[in-house]
A and B are shown apart, each in its own frame.
Chain A
Amino acid sequence: GAGVSQSPSNKVTEKGKDVELRCDPISGHTALYWYRQSLGQGLEFLIYFQGNSAPDKSGLPSDRFSAERTGGSVSTLTIQRTQQEDSAVYLCASSAPDSPYEQYFGPGTRLTVT
């Protein structure tokens, strides 16, 4: 079956612009996660969704970052007024209700802020 998909694969944006990153989880997966992978900070958790709710958004680094999930499926991570330190690979993962401990990752979006 189809895995987790993310778009775009790569995004180059100018400092100060807003960007939206999209994640399509595996069909039927109720949980969805966003992580950020950067050279300086490694892999960091950003936010977790169960259905359309986000019970844990403790990893969002600032109020410039927000995420939503609609219809219990697609999720969008929005970064406003991008800064150079936002440059990273943004990874999305999802997990199934009957196997909540295994997270399946997408290929990520590489964001470069110039």
Chain B
Amino acid sequence: AQTVTQSQPEMSVQEAETVTLSCTYDTSENNYYLFWYKQPPSRQMILVIRQEAYKQQNATENRFSVNFQKAAKSFSLKISDSQLGDTAMYFCAFRSQGAQKLVFGQGTRLTINP
């Protein structure tokens, strides 16, 4: 079974700084999808960024980018120019190509301080 590990339960940075959240996963599959979701206090999970394993190029979405290292099974999220609205729980998630369910990590609570 696939597992996802987020080793940083909590992180805190100053506004405008860059922060990187770590995620590692374990799978024997070659094709899969990786995601970062944001969960603010409102509880609604919001998709931040997605990466297909067959793509070598790292995904970017505005201030959010990933560092996908397939051989190392690592998928970190970098948030540039952090904003107060980035304060939330961040979850890394894995999905097999042939499956439908997401497997989530335990989450990282990120606080952006003014």
- Which residues in window 40-66 of A have CB below 8 A to B? 42-45, 48, 50, 55-56, 59
Find out whether the CB atom of B45 lies under 8 angstroms from the CB atom of A59: no
In the complex the two chains form, what is the Cα distance from A106 to B105 in whole Å? 19
B6 to chain A, nearest CB (A): 10
In the complex the two chains form, what is the Cα distance from A48 to B45 in whole Å? 17
Find out whether the CB atom of A103 lies under 8 angstroms from the CB atom of B102: yes
Please indicate the chain B residues that have their CB under 8 angstroms from the CB of A33 in the complex: 100-102
A72 to chain B, nearest CB (A): 16
In the complex the two chains form, what is the Cα distance from A47 to B47 in whole Å? 20
Please indicate the chain A residues that have their CB under 8 angstroms from the CB of B45 in the complex: 91, 93, 105
In the complex the two chains form, what is the Cα distance from A59 to B100 in whole Å? 12
B25 to chain A, nearest CB (A): 14
A-B contact number at CB 8 A: 50
B68 to chain A, nearest CB (A): 15
* Majority-rule SS of A interface residues: strand
Find out whether the CB atom of A103 lies under 8 angstroms from the CB atom of B44: no
In the complex the two chains form, what is the Cα distance from A56 to B99 in whole Å? 9
In the complex the two chains form, what is the Cα distance from A103 to B100 in whole Å? 10
Partner of A42, one of B42, B43, B46, B106: B106
Please indicate the chain B residues that have their CB under 8 angstroms from the CB of A106 in the complex: 44
Residues of chain A whose beta carbon lies under 8 Å from any beta carbon of chain B:
3, 31, 33, 35, 42-45, 48, 50, 55-56, 59, 89, 91, 93, 100-108, 110
